[in-house]
C-alpha cells in the first residue's frame, strides 16, 4: 500500500528557485471534468501523453480509473512518483481535496491515500490546484522564468482561474483558497453577488454575442470573435466583455502589486486578445499609476501536466 506523502509547509518551500528539475520520472495527471490527461515527465519533458474520460459519478470510480492507468504506466516505465493537477481547493500538505471544483464526488476526499491504497507499488503522491500548476509551468519553463512575483489568470468556458506566485512561491492561503480571482464581485449595485466567473467566462462572451445578433449561443465560437474585430458590432460585444477582463487584471494588480500578469486559456492565445485588453486598461484613469506588464502564458494544453511535475519535484526537494 502506498501512502501519499503529507510533508512540506502549507505554502511550499521557502523559495522555489532554480529550474525546478531533477532526474526523477513522474507520472503526471491533469484532472478535468470531462477528461483526465496523463503523461510521464522527466526533466521538464513530457512523453507518452494520453487521456481518459473522467469518472465523475463517484469517488471510487475515479480512484479505480486513476489507479488502473497508473499501474499500466508503471508496468511500461517504472517512475518515481505521481503528481496530480486538479480543480478546486487542494490541501497540498495532506494531499487531499478540500473541494473538487465541478467534480462534486471529490469534495473532502483523501485523494492521494485512496489512489495509493489501490496501487501495488510504493511511490509518493503529490497534488496541486490546476491554476497553481499552470503558474508553476510558467515559472519554471514558461514566460515567468526568474520572476518571483506574478499572478496568472486563465479565461475558461465557465469562468476565470487564478494563481498567485508571490515571494518566490505559490500563495495557497490559510484555507487553500488564495488566488480564487473569479470570486471577485465587481458589479454589486446592478447584479448583486454575481461574480467575475459569470462575466468573464467564454460562455458569457458567446451569450452576449447571441443576444446582440439573435443567434443560438451554442453556435458561437468565442475565439472567432477576436478575429472579427473590424466589424463594429462584433468589436462592441467583445469590448463590453473585455472590460470585465481588464477590471479583473486591474484589481489583482492593485491588490498584490506583481511584477507581471500572465493570461492563459484559449482566448489568451488569440493575437488580438492582449492588444484589446491593454487598450481597455489604458482607458482606466488610474492605470498610469498601476501600469504592469501583461503577457500571454507560454503553455496551454500541457500546462497542468507540466505544472504538476514541477509541483512534485519542488515539494520533494523541500521535504
Q: Which residue has the cell 488610474?
A: 286
CA angle, 111 as apex, 60 and 307 as ends, to 5°? 125
Q: Which helix H or strand E contains 262, and what residues bound it?
A: strand 260-264
pLDDT of residue 10: 34
The model's pTM is 0.90
Nearest alpha carbon to residue 306 among 141, 82, 120, 196 = 141
What is the rounded distance in angstroms from the CA atom of residue 8 to the CA atom of residue 27?
20
Grid cell listed for 155: 479565461
pLDDT of residue 115: 98
Question: Is the separation of the CB atoms in 273 and 49 below 8 Å?
Answer: no
Q: How far is CA 66 from CA 8, 56, 71, 73, 261, in A?
A: 24, 12, 9, 11, 34
What is the rounded distance in angstroms from the CA atom of residue 59 to the CA atom of residue 38?
18
pLDDT of residue 64: 98
Quickly count: other Cβ atoms within 10 Å of residue 222's Cβ. Answer: 21
Superfamily of domain 147-296, CATH level 4: ATPase, nucleotide binding domain (3.30.420.40)
Q: How far is CA 63 from CA 42, 69, 153, 159, 160, in A?
A: 24, 10, 29, 27, 27
What residues form DSSP beta bridges with 83?
A: 28, 126
- 16 backbone dihedrals φ, ψ, rounded to 5°: -90, 80
Quickly count: other Cβ atoms within 10 Å of residue 279's Cβ. Answer: 12
213, 219, 224, 226 alpha-carbon torsion, rounded to 10° = 40
Judged by DSSP in three states, 311 sits in helix
What is the rounded distance in angstroms from the CA atom of residue 264 to the CA atom of residue 42?
24
pLDDT of residue 9: 31
Q: What is the DSSP string of 220-241?
A: --HHHHTT-TTSHHHHHHHHHH
Question: Is the separation of the CB atoms in 142 and 95 below 8 Å?
Answer: no
Quickly count: other Cβ atoms within 10 Å of residue 263's Cβ. Answer: 23
Q: Where in the chain are all domains bearing CATH 3.30.420.40?
A: 25-135+301-318, 147-296
Judged by DSSP in three states, 187 sits in coil
Tens-binned pLDDT, residue by residue, of the chain (319 aa) = 434 443 333 333 333 445 566 689 999 999 999 999 999 999 999 999 999 999 999 999 999 999 999 999 999 999 999 999 999 999 999 999 999 989 999 999 999 999 999 999 999 999 999 999 999 999 999 999 999 999 999 998 888 999 999 999 999 999 999 999 999 998 899 999 999 999 999 999 999 999 999 999 999 999 999 999 999 999 999 999 999 999 999 999 999 999 999 999 889 999 999 999 999 999 999 999 999 999 999 999 999 999 999 999 999 888 7
Q: What is 25-135+301-318's CATH topology?
A: Nucleotidyltransferase; domain 5 (3.30.420)
Amino acid at each position: 500500500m502506498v501512502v501519499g506523502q503529507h510533508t512540506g509547509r502549507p505554502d511550499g518551500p521557502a523559495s522555489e528557485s532554480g529550474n525546478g528539475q531533477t532526474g526523477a520520472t513522474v507520472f503526471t495527471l491533469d484532472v478535468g471534468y470531462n477528461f483526465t490527461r496523463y503523461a510521464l515527465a522527466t526533466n521538464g519533458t513530457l512523453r507518452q501523453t494520453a487521456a481518459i474520460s473522467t469518472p465523475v459519478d463517484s469517488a471510487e470510480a475515479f480512484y479505480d480509473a486513476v489507479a488502473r492507468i497508473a499501474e499500466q504506466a508503471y508496468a511500461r516505465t517504472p517512475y518515481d512518483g505521481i503528481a496530480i493537477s486538479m480543480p478546486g481547493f487542494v490541501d497540498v500538505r495532506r494531499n487531499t481535496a478540500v473541494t473538487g471544483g465541478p467534480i462534486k464526488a471529490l469534495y473532502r476526499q483523501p485523494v492521494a491515500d485512496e489512489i495509493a491504497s489501490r496501487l501495488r507499488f510504493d511511490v509518493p503522491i503529490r497534488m496541486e490546484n490546476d491554476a497553481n500548476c499552470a503558474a508553476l509551468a510558467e515559472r519554471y519553463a514558461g514566460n515567468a522564468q526568474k520572476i518571483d512575483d506574478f499572478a496568472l489568470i486563465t479565461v475558461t468556458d465557465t469562468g476565470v482561474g487564478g494563481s498567485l506566485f508571490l515571494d518566490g512561491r505559490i500563495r495557497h492561503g490559510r484555507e487553500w483558497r488564495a488566488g480564487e480571482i473569479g470570486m471577485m464581485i465587481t458589479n454589486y449595485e446592478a447584479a448583486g453577488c454575481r461574480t467575475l466567473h459569470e462575466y468573464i467566462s467564454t460562455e458569457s462572451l458567446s451569450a452576449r454575442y447571441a443576444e446582440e445578433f439573435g443567434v443560438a449561443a451554442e453556435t458561437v465560437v468565442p475565439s472567432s470573435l477576436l478575429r472579427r474585430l473590424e466589424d463594429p458590432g462584433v468589436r462592441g460585444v467583445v469590448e463590453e466583455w473585455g472590460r470585465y477582463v481588464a477590471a479583473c487584471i486591474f484589481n489583482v494588480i492593485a491588490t498584490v502589486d506583481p511584477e507581471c500578469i500572465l493570461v492563459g486559456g484559449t482566448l489568451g492565445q488569440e493575437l488580438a486578445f492582449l492588444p484589446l485588453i491593454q487598450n481597455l486598461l489604458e482607458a482606466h484613469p488610474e492605470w498610469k499609476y498601476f501600469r504592469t506588464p501583461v503577457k500571454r502564458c507560454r503553455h496551454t494544453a500541457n500546462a497542468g501536466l507540466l505544472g504538476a511535475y514541477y509541483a512534485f519535484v519542488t515539494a520533494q526537494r523541500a521535504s
